[in-house]
Amino acid sequence: MLSEHVLELHKMEDWQEVLHRSQEHPVLLLKHSTTCPVSARAYREFMAFVGTNASDPKQTMEYRMVKVIENRPLSRRIAEETEVRHESPQVLLLDQGQVIKHASHGHITKKRLTQWAQNPFG
């Protein structure tokens, strides 16, 4: 079950909303494969980060997820529009409609995401 803080993207309009929302707040997007054990580990790290970060009242980051197998066209569209080669699992940190950081596979850790939240441009 998804955390109440993570909204799942299902259609192209959801992606457009992410871009719009990133004009106001950073948005962290997880591209997740529901059949991959590496992605399952990344999902756990992502959710552990969200669980900690979302409880911080000073933090304005929003959280989104797209399931890449179930929503392949949307996943492809995100890769095309961000110009970040698709990998799964993958996290993208968006600000002002642009990807400012991204990581994939074993590089998706709660520690790394916490560092991004503390210093997104560093």
Say which CATH number the domain at 89 has: 3.40.30.10
Indicate the number of domains in the chain: 1
Over residues 4-32, mean pLDDT: 96
Pair of tokens at residue 117: 């939240």
**Residue-wise pLDDT tens digits, 28-74:** 999 999 999 999 999 999 999 999 998 888 889 999 999 999 999 99
Confidence label for 2 from pLDDT (cuts 50, 70 and 90): low
pTM as predicted: 0.95
**Residue-wise pLDDT tens digits, 94-107:** 999 999 999 999 99
In a domain, 106, yes or no: yes
Sign of the torsion angle spanned by Cα atoms 108, 86, 25, 122: positive
